[in-house]
Structure 1
Amino acid sequence: MTDRHTRDDSTAPLTRGHKKRARTRQGLLDAALRVFARQDVAATALQDLAVEAEVSTGTIYNYFRTREELAEAVGIELAGEFSETISELSRHIDSGSKRLAIGVRMFVLRAQSDPQWASALLRVIHFDQAMHSTLASHVRDDLRGGLAEGVFHYANEDIALDLVISCATGAIRATLEGRTHDEQDILLAEMVLRALGATPARARKIAALPLPQDG
């Protein structure tokens, strides 16, 4: 019992320190997202982040040593977290083609509801390969699922992967430029599915399915 209490006492300050560090890091990522929504990653210095976050440059270097390291962290925050949210909502859906349609639609709808997120995502995805890889890992699984179930028919997986990501980011850019349409998310998902080899009728049916809801 004494040993257990000793361990608890010794780890309590460390736990509080970790929580404080996590809050500071998250604050820096939030500030970086705002900066990247306004200007290109390549044009951003760590000093810009310090100004936005209202901290010293030294504080920035405690968490991120380079602009590239910062961009990678923001990319994972932008794409990774949202992709995981989509995956969690789709966890009971066995169909790869349906999961892919859900992902495309939810990215478009998120861009429409959160322009700052969308703008930062577009700037970071063209700068940071890790972010592209994070998105690709989720899309690739759904492509393979759709191929296995006989809905998709494509000759090259890498080209199919680029097609999906390019279409989704293109739609996000169109949203930021004010070029939106009624049911844009459904129309895009339908066109992507058809481009991947789904029949017109099947693509239309899958794209129009209700989106899964949290809980």
Structure 2
Amino acid sequence: MVEIKNMNIPVDHRTQMGHSRRAKMRQHLLISSLDFYANQPDAELMIDDLIKHANVSRGTFYNYFKTTHELTIALTGEMSDEILKIIDPYIIHYINPLERMSMGLRLYMHATTQYPVWGKLLTRMGPHHTVRERQIDMYVKRDLNLAINSGIIPKDDVAVLKDLILGAVYYGIETLQQEQFKQDYANKIIEKLLKITSLNDELATQFAYCPLIKIEKVETDFFSFLKNI
């Protein structure tokens, strides 16, 4: 019995090490693609570009992704979730779920102007890959349900409201990539969206135009990388 246990320990350890190495290589490929886009934001990432940039073999790439499009979808979606992990601790204390949703969406949109590489990737990949069933989708749905259940807004079709909100935010992000639209554009979008939920006009304006929270710490793989280049 003792011998069997001792034989199993190194096997389990090797398995864990293998998973760790695989995760690190996948992250290396994602970071390498992000570095490529940071240097060539309008370029189309090809496999030859990636394997040269990441200094890996073609076979290594295919062990993780079928195409560079698949890799870019993974990168953009994971960055979307990652920015929400940064934002969430700053807004979790809001009691009113629509105030929390409003600030969260404004911070999300603002991040695309702070990190234009990510903003361009979001608009390039489209909402199906970057919004649908990602964290932002779940958070908006959660806050709308809480607002309805607590009587802040009247009962409505949450799926319809969520799609209206996320659709407007997504296309708003695309517009924000143009310099001339940056001033209070996000505020205007959020104010209109809050009014669509039937939130009273005074609160809609208050939530949409209150001072934007300043996020001090960015300690994540992708956004820390962008911040440091």
| TM-score normalised per structure 1 | 0.78
Aligned to 1:157: 158
Deviations 1:175-196 (A, max 9, x none): 2121334344433322221122
**Which of 207, 210, 213 is equivalent to 1:211?**
213
CA drift at 1:148: 2.5
Does residue 133 of structure 2 align to residue 133 of structure 1?
Answer: yes
Aligned to 2:31: 30
How far apart, CA to CA, are the structure 2 residues paired with 1:94 and 1:191?
Answer: 21
Aligned to 1:195: 196
Paired residues of 2:107 and 2:212 also in contact (CA < 8 A): no
How far apart, CA to CA, are the structure 1 residues paired with 2:131 and 2:189?
Answer: 22
Aligned CA RMSD, in angstroms, stands at 3.3
How far apart, CA to CA, are the structure 2 residues paired with 1:56 and 1:44?
Answer: 16
Aligned to 2:100: 99
Aligned to 1:166: 167
Aligned to 2:80: 79
CA drift at 1:33: 3.5
What amino acid does structure 1 have at the position aligned with 2:64? Y
Deviations 1:56-107 (A, max 9, x none): 2211112113456424422431222222333333333332201210121111
Aligned to 2:64: 63
Paired residues of 1:72 and 1:131 also in contact (CA < 8 A): no
* Structure 1 SS opposite 2:152: coil
* Structure 2 SS opposite 1:179: helix
What amino acid does structure 2 have at the position aligned with 1:211? I
Unaligned runs of 5+ in 2: 218-229
Aligned to 2:120: 119
CA drift at 1:169: 1.7
How far apart, CA to CA, are the structure 1 residues paired with 2:147 and 2:14?
Answer: 49
Paired residues of 1:75 and 1:125 also in contact (CA < 8 A): no
Unaligned runs of 5+ in 1: none
How far apart, CA to CA, are the structure 2 residues paired with 1:126 and 1:183?
Answer: 23
How far apart, CA to CA, are the structure 2 residues paired with 1:198 and 1:6?
Answer: 64
Aligned to 2:177: 176
How many pairs align?
Answer: 211
CA drift at 1:145: 1.7
How far apart, CA to CA, are the structure 2 residues paired with 1:20 and 1:171?
Answer: 39
CA drift at 1:11: 5.3
- Identity percentage over the alignment? 22
* Structure 1 SS opposite 2:202: helix
How far apart, CA to CA, are the structure 2 residues paired with 1:60 and 1:138?
Answer: 33
Paired residues of 2:103 and 2:207 also in contact (CA < 8 A): no
Closer, same or farther: CA 32–154 of 1 in aligned 2, 3 Å: farther
| TM-score normalised per structure 2 | 0.74
Paired residues of 1:83 and 1:138 also in contact (CA < 8 A): no
